[in-house]
Amino acid sequence: MFYPDAELMAARLGEHGAPCELQVWPGQVHAFQTAASSVPEAAHAVTMIVDFVERM
């Protein structure tokens, strides 16, 4: 249910030149990154978030 909003937000940010990367993680629940200490995919997602923030 959040996906269409995320797509729209990413498109609009891009239209205005704002840095944005929309990542889709099939099979994951909303906010799965909170389980980074026990779910490898969540830990990887958090690492990717940190990489994005550091590039900004």
**Per the domain annotation, does 56 fall within a domain?**
yes
Asked whether residue 40 is assigned to any structural domain, the reply reads yes
Confidence of residue 15 (pLDDT cuts 50, 70, 90): very high
CB 34 within 8 A of CB 46: no
Domain containing 42 equals: 23-56
- Quick check: 38 pLDDT over 90? yes
Residue 30 confidence class, pLDDT cut points 50, 70, 90: confident
Asked if residue 48 belongs to a domain, the reply is: yes
Q: Which tokens sit at 16?
A: 């205005």
The answer to whether position 33 is within a domain reads yes
- Whether 28 maps to a domain, the answer reads yes
pLDDT at 24 over 80: yes
Residue 9 domain flag = no
Q: What is the number of domains present in the chain?
A: 1
End-to-end CA distance of the chain: 28
Are the CB atoms for 8 and 18 separated by under 8 Å? no
Q: How far apart are CA 5 and CA 42, in angstroms?
A: 21
* Whole-number pLDDT of residue 3: 87
**Would 13 be classed as within a structural domain?**
no
Higher pLDDT, 29 or 47: 47
- Would you state the pLDDT for residue 6? 92
Q: Is residue 51 assigned to a domain?
A: yes
